[in-house]
Amino acid sequence: MSNDNDIDLARARAETPGIDRVVHLNNCGAGLMPTPVLDAVVEHLSLEAEIGGYEAEARAAAAIERSYDAIAELLNSGRDEIAIVENATVAWDMAFYGMRFEKGDRILTAAAEYASNYIAYLQVQKRSGVEIQVVPDDETGQLDVAALESLIDDRVKLISVTHVPTGGGLVNPAAEIGRVARATGVPFLLDACQSAGQIPLDVAEIGCDMLSATGRKYLRGPRGSGFLYVRSEMLERLEPPFLDLHAATWTGRDSYQMRPDARRFENWENYVGGKIGLGVAVDYALAWGLEAIRDRVQALAGEIRDRLAALPGATVHDQGVEKCGIVSFTLPGQDPHALKAAMAAEGININTSGAASTRLDMEARGLALVNRLGVHYYNSEAEIDRFFKLIEDLR
């Protein structure tokens, strides 16, 4: 059924210890770590316990530095344009709150924007009097690029869009948005939290100035890891919202100097094992190939959507031209929380997504709560059959 010729499923599954315990269809929550990632993190934690945290860090210097190179390779960026932080929210916040907004400035965003991002817009609106403008969707449900273009004027100071929203299969047209941003010179911040690891991301092709992502979801890295990309030309236009002695050097009683690279968005103390594990996870994804991952993930998700749509009364809520590995749906007479619990009782992990996560989009579509799953390349067709068998049993 799928054009997944490049993924050796048997090997992918052999290298995923969690598949012996669960049918994990919650990769949009957190992916199952593969063995190399798990080993790298555990090994480093053991070394910290054996020889001391600072000493372990010094010994692991090459692996730590490799993480920057791996992320740069993933994004087709420079290594100096990468900061590794604790999650996607911190990465995004460091970029967003690094912008200087004045009263009357406008932020253009999309309907399916993630709650944390929108809350930050609201805070800055309250503080500085910026205007938030939501670009309408087109008839397919993705951001309408022509509408975006028509809304650009001198007051627009930022285009900030979620690539893959948290609650469904939509993939917003990042590269087309990037073309508008490049043509008009408006900075473009892309939340790639759900797309990193399941869709190829090339910042040169996309044309974004800043990109944030997390480690634990489709990249299958450890929890508590994330990263920020800042285009080198953008670095001096952002003021990190806080600085410490890692981000800057105290050069005199009344002076300090920021680091020249994107690590000015990091701080000194960090989850070193997680940082190493994140790099291993990115290398692991690169070794499979992001195109091959995307193709298998999209084929599996497509099959799930088709089978769900064929169930009487079931609704698939995913929108857009391109759809990813996240599938949102509701079943007739099934409370989404109850379905999640029933699945969990049988060792199948799915999740729910509520209006508080993507309020504008969900309210516009009259949705309060849906079931959400995120399939990955290591999931098997047999696992999907188990999921559907249980749905049949519950009817």
Ligand X SMILES: Cc1ncc(COP(=O)(O)O)c(C=O)c1O
Binding site residues, ligand X, CB under 6 A: 87-89, 114, 162, 165-166, 191, 193-194, 214, 226
Q: How far is the CB of 149 from ligand X (least distance, A)?
A: 24
**Closer of 166 and 352 to ligand X (Cβ):** 166
Count of H helices and E strands in the chain?
Answer: 15, 15
d(CA 222, CA 6): 25
Q: Are 143 and 172 in contact (CB under 8 A)?
A: yes
- The amino acid occupying position 128 is S
d(CA 394, CA 321): 32
**Closer of 83 and 390 to ligand X (Cβ):** 83
Q: How far is the CB of 35 from ligand X (least distance, A)?
A: 23
Q: Are 136 and 110 in contact (CB under 8 A)?
A: no
Q: How far is the CB of 116 from ligand X (least distance, A)?
A: 6
Burial status of residue 61 (CB atoms within 10 A of its CB: 0-12, 13-18, 19 or more): exposed
**Closer of 56 and 114 to ligand X (Cβ):** 114
Q: How far is the CB of 188 from ligand X (least distance, A)?
A: 16
**Closer of 296 and 372 to ligand X (Cβ):** 372
> Which contiguous run of DSSP H or E holds residue 67?
helix 61-75
Q: How far is the CB of 25 from ligand X (least distance, A)?
A: 16
Q: How far is the CB of 120 from ligand X (least distance, A)?
A: 11
Query: What is the maximal distance between C-alpha atoms in the chain?
Result: 72
Tell me the CA distances in angstroms from 111 to 114, 115, 182, 213, 343, one per residue in order. 9, 11, 22, 20, 30
Taking alpha carbons only, the member of 197, 176, 163 closest to residue 292 is 197
Q: How far is the CB of 168 from ligand X (least distance, A)?
A: 11
Strands 188-191 and 210-214: parallel
**Closer of 27 and 298 to ligand X (Cβ):** 27
**Closer of 334 and 358 to ligand X (Cβ):** 358
**Closer of 259 and 294 to ligand X (Cβ):** 294
